[in-house]
Amino acid sequence: MPKPSVLILSLSPIAADARVLKQVALFASDFEVTTLGYGPHPPGAAEHIRLPDDVISWKWEPKLVILHAHPATYWNNPAMRWVRRNVPKGRFDVILANDVEGSGLAHMLRPRFGFHADLHEFSSRLNENDTGWNTHIRPLYEWMVRAHVRRAASVSTIGDHIAREYERQFSLRDVAVIPNATPYEPTLAPRGVQEPIALVHSGAARRERALEMHIDAAAAAGPSVRLDLYLTQDTTDYYRSLVARADATPNVRVLPPVPYADLVRTLNGYDMGLFSLPPITFNTEWVLPNKFFDFVQARLGQIIGPSPEMVSILREHDLGLVASDFSTEALTARIRELTPESVRAFKANAHAASRELSAESYTSAWRTAVDRILQRG
């Protein structure tokens, strides 16, 4: 009996997209998996439909955007036009569409039984701190949800509060929560606490993340700690400013990024993960990032800012400390509270929670959604 066919559609470089790669791995054994997105053929997919690099998915026609001509704006996008012309309709049993941009394509491609929409963030409020984006692009994304995502058989997103907001604002039903959790690392265990205590941060060098605050907090905490930052997006002026700041700080280093496949094992060589993100938008207020789960699988304790989604899980499992606010001073105060005994306990608690907080504990919801679509069909 032939396997059911599933198209995993994402307007991203799928081979480097951790969330989408989890989807591919989940369906690879029991489904005929085709991927549609940018970049090289991702591991696990039987077939990959590659969007040309010069077919840009984020490029919207300015005149149409200003006129709020949403259908014309969407379907005149270069990526939407390319898919419409090059991918046959009705070929797949089910489509797993990533983000609101992919949902319109999923509906247009007419899967035999339906499609599931996985919304990575609250799309219509991504750049709400930018007046121009808020005025012109936000209405387009709100239209995409109403016109396309509502046609999905089921919907998921990355956090509980974001799920409830999609339900409240757009009347989506029963939005499932699938955090950006990290695959379980069964062979890792906590290492002994170092002297000085070894702090680490990993992620993109983006200005809105205020990474200079992390550097300044470690510097103010003094020689009892050291901080290493593994940063991607390392060609910007902001990245260079962070390197200069770290170079002037005896206990801080900026190191080259490591491949994601090696990241958790690299982090395992540290004691505490560090991450405090100022809530400048709805999405940054309700952030629950993959690095939070990377730190758990690396068996590290954590010091975080008071972001509610992270705080809830951290306190449930006693994984570390929460700064009183998003200032450098508040982060410094928590770093100064660390002792070898408290760090050892946080690392042990991360080890105890590592299976429960792994990707495998959450991603089965995608399989459940696709199975239900097939059963209804």
pLDDT in tens, 50-63: 999 999 999 999 99
Give the pLDDT of residue 27. 97
Q: How confident is the model at residue 373 (pLDDT cuts 50, 70, 90)?
A: very high
Q: Please indicate, yes or no, whether residues 9 and 29 belong to a single structural domain of this protein.
A: yes
In a domain, 209, yes or no: yes
Q: What integer pLDDT is reported at residue 110 of this predicted model? A: 98
pTM over 0.95: no
Q: Is the pLDDT of residue 1 over 90?
A: no
Q: Give me the pLDDT at residue 172, please.
A: 96
Assess whether pLDDT exceeds 80 at residue 204.
Answer: yes
Q: Which residues contact 244 (CB under 8 A, 6 or more apart)?
A: none
* 179 upstream amide cis, omega within 30 of 0: no
Per-residue buried b or exposed e for 218-241, using 16+ beta carbons within 10 Å of the residue's own CB: bbebeeebbbbbbbeebeeebbee
SS3 content of the chain, % helix, strand, coil (to 5): 45, 20, 35
Residue 294 lies in a domain: yes
**What residues have CB less than 8 Å from 83, skipping those under 6 apart?**
36, 51, 105, 108, 109
Domain-embedded: residue 124 = yes
CB of 51 within 8 A of CB of 71? no
- Integer Cα distance of 99 and 258 in angstroms: 27
Shared domain check, 159 and 303? no
Residues 59 and 206 grouped into a single domain: no
Q: How far, rounded to the nearest angstrom, does the alpha carbon of residue 259 sit from its chain's CA centroid?
A: 16
Instruction: Report helix, strand or coil for 321.
Output: strand
Specify if 183 maps to a domain: no
Same domain, yes or no: 243 and 99? no
- For the chain, the maximum distance between any two Cα atoms, rounded to a whole number of angstroms, is 65
Kindly indicate the confidence band of residue 279, based on its pLDDT and cuts at 50, 70 and 90: very high
**What number is the average pLDDT over the span 298-317?**
98
Task: Summarize pLDDT for 129-159 with one digit per residue, the tens.
Answer: 999 999 999 999 999 999 999 999 999 999 9
Question: Where residue 219 falls among pLDDT bands split at 50, 70, 90?
Answer: very high
Instruction: Please check whether residue 190 lies inside any domain of the structure.
Output: no
Whether 272 and 222 map to the same domain: the answer is: yes
- Given a cut of 80, whether residue 195 has pLDDT beyond it is yes
Q: Is the pLDDT of residue 234 over 90?
A: no
The count of other CB atoms within 10 Å of the CB of residue 157 is 25
Flag whether pLDDT at 376 surpasses 90.
no
Q: Which residues have C-beta within 8 Å of that of residue 303, sequence separation ≥ 6?
A: 199, 272, 273, 274, 275, 276, 320, 321, 322, 323, 331, 334, 335, 338
pLDDT at 244 over 90: yes
Contact at 8 Å (CB) between 68 and 41?
no
CATH of the domain at 166: 3.40.50.2000
Contacts (Cβ under 8 Å, ≥6 apart) of 339: none
**Number of compact structural domains in the chain:** 2
Residue 233: pLDDT band by 50, 70, 90 thresholds?
confident
Do 117 and 85 fall within a single domain?
A: yes
- 3-state class of 303 per DSSP? strand
pLDDT tens figures, 61-117: 999 999 999 999 999 999 999 999 999 999 999 999 999 999 999 999 999 999 999
Percent of the chain with pLDDT over 90: 96
Residue 306: pLDDT band by 50, 70, 90 thresholds?
very high
pLDDT of residue 323: 98
257 lies in the same domain as 144? no
User: Is residue 273 in some structural domain?
Assistant: yes
pLDDT exceeds cutoff 80 at 377: no
Q: Are residues 205 and 330 in the same domain?
A: yes
Give the distance from CA 277 to its chain's centroid: 14
- Note the pLDDT of residue 366: 98
- Position 102 scores a pLDDT of 97
Does residue 169 have a pLDDT over 90? yes
Burial of 294 (0-12, 13-18, 19+ CB in 10 A): buried
Residues 5-18: what's their mean pLDDT?
Answer: 95
Which one-letter amino acid corresponds to residue 21?
L
Give me the mean pLDDT over the 222-227 stretch. Answer: 97
What's the pLDDT tens digit per position in 332-366? 999 999 999 999 999 999 999 999 999 999 999 99
Q: 174 and 54, same structural domain?
A: yes
| CB 366, CB 320: distance < 8 Å | no
Specify if 125 maps to a domain: yes
Would 171 be classed as within a structural domain?
Answer: yes
Based on the fold, state whether residues 371 and 346 are members of the same structural domain: no
Q: Beta strand 272-275 with 176-177: parallel, antiparallel or unpaired?
A: unpaired
Q: How far apart are CA 335 and CA 315, in angstroms?
A: 17
Q: Are 275 and 292 within one domain?
A: yes
**Whether residues 221 and 137 fall in one domain:** no
Which structural domain range is residue 170 located in?
Answer: 5-178+362-376
